[in-house]
C-alpha cells in the first residue's frame, strides 16, 4: 500500500464496495420477487435465502467497518515519520 493512502481512504473505499453489494442484492431481490409462486419456486426461494444472507453479511461488514473508522478517528495521529508507525499500530 502506498504511503499516500490512509486507512480511512481504504475504509471509505470498502464502504463504497459494501454499498454496491447492498444495491446489487436489492436489485436481485426485485428481480426474484415476481418469480415467487411460479414453476421455479424452489430455486427462487433458495436464491432469495442466499440474497438475504448476502445482505446480512454486507450489513455486518458495514457496521464493523464503521466502528473501525470511528476508532481510527479517536486515535492520536502523529505527523511526519511517525505516521507509518501509527498506521501499523492501527491494524493491531
Residue 3: per-residue pLDDT: 56
Predicted TM-score (pTM) of this structure: 0.63
- 51 in a structural domain: yes
Query: What does the DSSP assignment read for 63-89?
Result: HHHHHHHHHHHHS----TTHHHHHHHH
- The average pLDDT across 48-64 equals 91
Most confident of the following: 33-42, 56-65, 73-82: 56-65
* Domain around 41: 14-72
- 2 in a structural domain: no
Question: What does the block give as the cell for 44?
Answer: 427462487
Number of structural domains, the chain? 1
User: Is the confidence at residue 48, as pLDDT, over 50?
Assistant: yes
Amino acid at each position: 500500500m502506498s504511503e499516500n493512502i490512509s486507512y480511512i481512504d481504504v475504509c471509505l473505499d470498502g464502504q463504497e464496495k459494501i454499498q454496491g453489494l447492498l444495491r446489487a442484492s436489492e436489485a436481485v431481490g426485485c428481480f426474484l420477487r415476481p418469480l415467487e409462486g411460479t414453476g421455479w419456486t424452489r430455486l427462487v426461494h433458495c436464491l432469495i435465502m442466499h440474497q438475504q444472507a448476502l445482505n446480512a453479511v454486507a450489513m455486518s461488514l458495514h457496521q464493523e467497518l464503521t466502528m473501525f473508522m470511528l476508532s481510527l478517528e479517536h486515535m492520536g495521529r502523529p505527523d511526519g515519520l511517525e505516521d507509518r508507525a501509527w498506521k501499523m499500530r492501527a491494524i493491531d
